[in-house]
Structure 1
Amino acid sequence: MKHVSILVPKSNTILSSVVGPYKIFKSVNDFILQTGKSQQPFFDINLVGIDKDTVLYDGAFSVHCDATIYDISKTDLIIISAVRPEWITDGIKTNYEFIPWIKKQRTQHNAEVASLCLGAFLLAETGLLDNKQCTTHWAGIDLFRQMYPKIDVLPEKIVTDQEGIYSSGGAYSFLNLIIHLVYKYCGQEAAVYVSKLFEIDISRDNQNQFAIFRGQKDHTDTLIQKAQLFIEDHVTEKISVEQLSDMLAVSQRNFIRRFKKATANTPLEYIQRVKVEAAKNTLESTQNTINEVMFSVGYSDTKAFRSLFKRFTGLTPIAYKNKYNRELVSF
């Protein structure tokens, strides 16, 4: 039997990321018992908090935990539930008592640890992710990189698995991580069963198609903000780094350094991401051909545009249009 501790951080936990893993692990137990594969359930599951009761969504819901971290001396698997974005700045302090407990379980009892969505921020605070791979919600990638430069962030990944440390991408992609853990612990038959029961697409391995690029403007470098606005206002044109640095009267080397520091992107990457985001919006909302869309964002080489689009979205332009165009998609 494997003991699972599903952590319930104070205040801003995403309720579905507590209920989802709980229900899936419970269903695996039912499957194992019903099929006669074992006489006892595989997972012993506890909801674990700093306090027994946690109020969520401004009082709309509450979670009653089976135990607190002070009751659990040893566990095999820790699930760090997803949290709301506004949790990140103040929530780490509010839930800091989890951190030494997680570290102790990992270092003294070799517990495995999995973070769901933005729960990766709490896992990163333990230092257990240093020099390891991790993913999180695409909306938190830039902040995560700024706060934890020692971690190898893989923004496109749905699931990462390295030396007993796991993470999932954004929102409901945590379901794919839970299925991954079921497969690892209980085998393919159990994983396929619960994926069918909960209708989870187990083939998903890339979250880039869901990402929305808004540009990183929460910095104080006004010169770089001018460059960003120029790029976004001239999406139909071909823009070079040389053109931008000349326009702003700074050397290319200094411009590139400042741009990367402010936005976490090189100027070229930023230009490309803005153009791809504009192309995505056009593919979603119009019946323009791929070539028309390509020309509208300043590209003329079909092969280069296709390659760039797929690098940032994980899909070809035509596949993206077929999947997300408002007139083609049936709801």
Structure 2
Amino acid sequence: MTEPHRVVVLGISDVIGFDVAIPPQIFGAAQDSEHRPLYDVRVLSLDGGPIGTTKGFAIMPDRDAEFLREPDTLVVPGTHLAGPRTDGSLPPELAEYLAELPAGTRIMSICTGAFVLAAAGLLDGRPATTHWAHADGFRRLYPRVDLRPDVLFVDDGDVLSSAGVAAGIDLCLHVIRRDHGSEVANRAARSNVVPPWREGGQSQFVERPLPDTGGNGTAPTRAWMLDRLAEPLTLDALAAHARTSVRTFTRRFREETGTSPLEWLLRQRVEHARHLLESTDLPVDEVAERAGLTDASSLRKHLRRRLGTSPTAYRRTFRRT
């Protein structure tokens, strides 16, 4: 058993309390098959003192200075610290800490934590995201960053960023999945009663009126679809199950999910295929058939388009013995 991966959650006053709690909760739920923790997560501050939050309470951090200096992964939660959000500056001690992180440290931000990384120059020339409401201000301050405000999270290898609050959950689950595969990530999600996977490219939920479904939402039909991924499902069949016209069903579905019924269905089929590639030794053709993707050629096309890899390469990377 190797030592758990060391995760530092750096609390920067005034920190967003929800954001700072996400990594300990999500990474803390990741365990191996013998229920041993895979991550050692500490909430720390640079001076070891209490961390003020945006909601009037303070967080008492751990006081492990060595852990602070040598993380495997550093997470910067959202913060209302003025400099990064007003003029692109950082307090000297914070700038020095970020500049001296050990080579190979993985760096993550949640919500406005991206402003801190950008102010430190860690996002220059790289794709990143933050909460959609702060996108315009971010662009003005950091034009050298490839800002992508319409996604839940961005994975650029050793630097990752997520949108506001709950998108931090998606990012942490994505990292667990990248580190240890879908089985571990799914168990961590189930223990926290959160969805196991939302694609990073899924649109943020920008401000707009919530649809009035009048009790006739598409959730029951979505559940019905998930039970029948291997079957040929047409728009007519989906609308018939929802007991509405194709036009009305498609409109309601897009209002509730942000995408079309058939695109949503394809996404679920690809996710099921990924799960089968990771968790079984089924031939690629059978994986494609069980996921409703017809054959290996179709699976290869969709996996290449979404993930830039082939089924065989994906299985080799993520299959856990």
Structure 2 length normalisation: TM-score?
A: 0.60
Give the Cα separation in 2 of the matches to 1:41 and 1:83: 28
How much does 1:88 deviate? 5.0
* Number of corresponding residues: 219
Q: Specify the SS of the correspondent of 2:7.
A: strand
Give the Cα separation in 1 of the matches to 2:89 and 2:83: 10
The range that moved more, 92-101 or 188-197, is 92-101
Amino acid of the residue matched to residue 253 of structure 2?
Answer: A
How much does 1:168 deviate? 0.3
Is 1:6–2:9 an aligned residue pair?
yes
2:285 maps to what in 1? none
Whether the 8 Å contact between 1:2 and 1:44 is mirrored in structure 2 is yes
| Structure-2 change in CA distance of 1:125 and 1:93 (3 Å) | closer
2:34 maps to what in 1? 36
Give the Cα separation in 1 of the matches to 2:162 and 2:65: 23
Whether the 8 Å contact between 1:8 and 1:47 is mirrored in structure 2 is yes
Amino acid of the residue matched to residue 44 of structure 2?
Answer: V
Per-residue CA shift, 1:246-297, capped at 9, x if unaligned?
Answer: xxxxxxxxxxxxxxxxxxxxxxxxxxxxxxxxxx55x84799xxxxxxxxxx
Among 106, 111, 117, which residue is 1:112 paired with? 106
How much does 1:117 deviate? 0.6
How much does 1:42 deviate? 2.3
Task: Note the 1:84-233 alignment, pairs <5 A.
Answer: 84=80, 89=85, 95-105=91-101, 108-201=102-195, 202-206=197-201, 208=203, 210-212=205-207
Per-residue CA shift, 1:129-165, capped at 9, x if unaligned?
Answer: 1110000000011111111111101111111111310
Whether the 8 Å contact between 2:95 and 2:120 is mirrored in structure 1 is yes
How much does 1:50 deviate? 1.9
1:65 maps to what in 2? 61
2:76 maps to what in 1? 80
Whether the 8 Å contact between 1:5 and 1:75 is mirrored in structure 2 is yes
Whether the 8 Å contact between 1:17 and 1:174 is mirrored in structure 2 is yes
| Structure-2 change in CA distance of 1:48 and 1:322 (3 Å) | closer
- Return 5+ residue gaps in structure 2 as ranges: 215-249, 259-321
Per-residue CA shift, 1:17-45, capped at 9, x if unaligned?
Answer: 111210222221xx32xx327xx532222
Q: Specify the SS of the correspondent of 1:3.
A: strand
How much does 1:177 deviate? 0.3
How much does 1:95 deviate? 4.7
Amino acid of the residue matched to residue 131 of structure 2?
Answer: H
Structure having the higher Rg: 1
Whether the 8 Å contact between 1:100 and 1:126 is mirrored in structure 2 is no
Structure 1 length normalisation: TM-score?
A: 0.58
- Return 5+ residue gaps in structure 1 as ranges: 213-279, 288-315, 325-331
Among 243, 253, 262, which residue is 1:319 paired with? 253
| Paired-residue identity, % | 24
Give the Cα separation in 2 of the matches to 1:63 and 1:91: 27
How much does 1:194 deviate? 1.1
| Structure-2 change in CA distance of 1:6 and 1:85 (3 Å) | closer
Is 1:49–2:51 an aligned residue pair?
no
